[in-house]
Amino acid sequence: MRRIGIVGAGQAGLVLAIGLRQLGYHVTVFAERPAAEVRAVRLVSNQCLFHPALERERELGINFWDADAPPVREVAFAAAGETADPAISWRVALDRPAQSVDQRVKVADWMAEFERLGGDLRIRRVSPADLDECAREFELLVVAAGRGPQFDTLFPRDDERSPYHEPQRAIGVLYVAGTLDAVPGLTFGLSQVGEFFLLPVRSVHGPVHGIGFFGVPGGPMDVWDAVTDVEQHHETARKLLRAHYPWQAGLLDSTSPAAPTDLLHGRITPVVRHPVGTLPSGAKVLAMGDTAVTNDPVGGQGANLAARAARTYQEAIVDHADRPFDEEFLYGTFARYWRHARHATRFTNDLLAPPPDHVLATLDTAQRVPEVAHRFAHLFENPADYEGWLAEPRSSYRFLEEATARRVATP
Ligand SMILES: Cc1cc2nc3c(=O)[nH]c(=O)nc-3n(C[C@H](O)[C@H](O)[C@H](O)COP(=O)(O)OP(=O)(O)OC[C@H]3O[C@@H](n4cnc5c(N)ncnc54)[C@H](O)[C@@H]3O)c2cc1C
């Protein structure tokens, strides 16, 4: 069977590794740290996975947390207005629940599963200079080591597909324990200074809620650089809620930080990279997951895309049978993935810009027409619906008219 090497034990690398191993491929994964250390690191993501990504994990039988991960059944949206009440507010059920399982849990458990299946797990941080040595061992070497900057030179930025040059949000995420008056799902708040999301998570410390703030850089929610610990983060989060989402002012009052390591601060530049890297020896390597396409987490797409990449790359490898993994294969595999990833990327990049009138009209109409709320909420699961609809004013207004007419016609 063919020998495949994967640098990076994350959502992308491990799902591909396990899928290939189940088919009998000889797979080696280079992981930065052992499973016990993975569980102990600081928070890495808020990782809400929607149905298609969850289905992939279920197909592979690696959905180990379905019984105890809280289902994300609803989306509750609200936008700030002139008063303490939201200007727009609606709530809708997801057709199929989403789920957030702490990546520290997933990665640690999947590393064990990969080894159980006979996979070759090597604890080693692979530098770009090490890649040539690794590449000699394998017929195909995939780099799934997360977002930059270590492999940025190997996989240069694709300017045509990357509209932003700077981070568009200052991000602060905290896991909290305690009682929340929240919907059984994703709570989404929008204001002119940024967004906040809250959702239930199955973390390394059991059931918690993850609350993430995404502040426009330089604005009043760009506050995390000065925050050093979870207590300060918790207090800052409560202040942001009172100042910018007053209808949620008390949301965190009966909570406390879940653990000292359960916070995350950062800024991410969204970028699409040229996916095929050439090593000094001339050998070629293929980027995957965030290493290839990094989106701002505001759209909740990165882990979903990583799962999609794992499926698409696996299918391409299997379809290729015994032929050499040449440059044509590498570019073709990424192209196959990009057919889906471009939708998630466009949707997320557009979310980072101030919402245009047709999007505001859609969010407003969603309060009165459940079909509109339903379609908007399901963009997170199916961003391919965005381009032919909400990306463009004319199709957006047409849909609003049609959906409103259907609503009026329904007895
Ligand atoms: C605040 C925040 C919130 C998010 N919320 C969501 C969300 O709700 N929904 C969603 O879909 N996505 C979300 N994401 C994005 C999501 O977490 C990532 O897109 C996803 O984890 C990417 O998976 P990956 O496997 O490509 O990379 P990673 O998950 O980053 O995995 C890469 C792995 O490679 C390892 N590694 C790195 N360098 C090396 C090296 N040199 N040698 C060996 N190993 C190495 C790392 O240790 C890591 O284990 C969020 C991200 C953030 C930061």
Q: pLDDT tens string for the chain (411 positions)?
A: 799 999 999 999 999 999 999 999 999 999 999 999 999 999 999 999 999 999 999 999 999 999 999 999 999 999 999 999 999 999 999 999 999 999 999 999 999 999 999 999 999 999 999 999 999 999 999 999 999 899 999 999 999 999 999 999 999 999 999 988 888 899 999 999 999 999 999 999 899 999 999 999 999 999 999 999 999 999 999 999 999 999 999 999 999 999 999 999 999 999 999 999 999 999 999 999 999 999 999 999 999 999 999 999 999 999 999 999 999 999 999 999 999 999 999 999 999 999 999 999 999 999 999 999 999 999 999 999 999 999 999 999 999 999 999 998 876
Residue 303 CA: nearest ligand 1 atom is 11
Helix (H) or strand (E) holding 194, with range, is strand 194-203
Backbone φ/ψ region at 146: left (φ over 0), alpha (ψ -120 to 50), beta: left
Strand pairing category for 71-79 and 88-100: antiparallel
Q: Among the residues of 198-273, which ranges form H helices?
A: 230-244
For residue 29, give every residue at least 6 positions away whose Cβ sits within 8 Å of its Cβ, in sequence order, or none: 6, 8, 9, 13, 14, 17, 111, 114, 119, 120, 121, 122
Please provide the size of the chain in residues: 411
**DSSP code, position 290:** G
Measured by CA distance, the residue closest to atom 20 of ligand 1 is: 303
Residue 197 CA: nearest ligand 1 atom is 8
**pTM value?**
0.97
Measured by CA distance, the residue closest to atom 6 of ligand 1 is: 47
* Domain 71-99+170-267, CATH class in plain words: alpha beta
* Domain 3-43+103-164+270-351, CATH class in plain words: alpha beta
Distance 300 CA to ligand 1 centre (A): 12
In CATH terms, are 3-43+103-164+270-351 and 71-99+170-267 the same topology?
no
Measured by CA distance, the residue closest to atom 26 of ligand 1 is: 289
Domain ranges of the chain: 3-43+103-164+270-351, 71-99+170-267, 357-409
Contact 111, 9 (CB under 8 A): yes
How many helices, marked H, and strands, marked E, lie in the chain?
Answer: 12, 17
